[in-house]
Amino acid sequence: MKTEELTDGFVKRSEEILKDNLVGVYLHGSLAMGCFNPLKSDVDLIVVVEDPLSDPVKREYLDMVTEYNAEGPAKGIEMSIVRREFCKPFVYPTPYELHFSAGHLDRYEEDPEEYIRELKGTDKDLAAHFTVITKRGKRLYGAPISDVFAEVPDGDYMDSIWFDVEGAAEEITEYPMYLILNLARVLAYKEDGLVLSKKEGGEWALCRLPAEYLPLVKDALREYTESAEVVYDETLAVRYAKYAIKRIKC
């Protein structure tokens, strides 16, 4: 299924299930920022509602999401439903009504009721998602972005993206492409105030990092943009992670 067909269908079904409770559907991530790779990217969506959802509505909605997830790109759909009252004024960490990603699919299919019962609370990642929506996101349906989302304070955004990379030195050999590019875009925000995609973060790093790390970044960009098979220098990757974290902390 083409991404436009997927998002159009997702919006239509959201209207049918959520009815008057639906405030809007908003796109963020690589698809919104023009660097989507169907083999490496997911479709990132935020759904905003006025009122809490009942468990039967959550079940109906998640069944719909999993249908579209099966028809989507390799990494599927990542989606959160958030109540409007937590978007403007912005609340951090942000409470959410419902969340789904392809990594949760088995857990949901094994026991939908338990999934719905347990998957609740707050999510620091939403500060990063909301920032992308306000800076570079797209409204797919509903109220204008400026009416729904407040600007995320710099400190909350930085805490959110730092939370995603703080364990990079220990994790980079397991997720090299993801963390090489994510560390770069955190650095780009810390030093230049830029809200970038992973691809753009890598391109920024090529002009701003010491020469020894540039082959690593180029390899990560090749894997991300071209789906190239890459064998990373793990020793160099760990050294890069420690260097980037030290620079972020300065």
Q: Which of 245, 204, 213, 246 is nearest to 232 (CA)?
A: 213
pLDDT tens readout for residues 172-182: 999 999 999 99
The answer on pLDDT for 120 being more than 90 is no
> What pLDDT does 131 receive?
98
Local confidence band at 119 (pLDDT 50, 70, 90 cut-offs): confident
The answer on pLDDT for 217 being more than 90 is yes
> Residue 132 and residue 92: Cα distance in Å, rounded?
16
> What pLDDT does 71 receive?
94
**pTM (predicted TM-score):** 0.95
pLDDT tens readout for residues 137-169: 999 999 999 999 999 999 999 999 999 999 999
> What pLDDT does 1 receive?
83
Average pLDDT over residues 78-107: 97
The answer on pLDDT for 70 being more than 90 is yes
> Residue 181 and residue 68: Cα distance in Å, rounded?
28
Strands of the sheet with 77-83, listed across from one edge: 98-100, 77-83, 43-49, 22-28, 138-142
The domain ranges of the chain are: 3-152, 166-249
Residues whose CB falls within 8 Å of the CB of residue 111, separated by 6 or more in sequence, listed in order: none
Q: Which of 25, 10, 120, 19 is nearest to 63 (CA)?
A: 10
Token pair listed for 20: 């008057």
The pLDDT mean for the chain works out to 96
Which amino acid belongs to residue 103? G
User: What class is the 3-152 domain?
Assistant: alpha beta
What residues are paired with 22 via a beta bridge? 49
> Residue 10 and residue 193: Cα distance in Å, rounded?
33
> What pLDDT does 143 receive?
98
The answer on pLDDT for 22 being more than 90 is yes
pLDDT tens readout for residues 189-207: 999 999 999 999 999 999 9
The DSSP H or E segment spanning 25 is strand 22-28
> Residue 25 and residue 7: Cα distance in Å, rounded?
10
Going by DSSP bridges, is the β-strand pair 43-49/77-83 parallel, antiparallel, or unpaired?
parallel
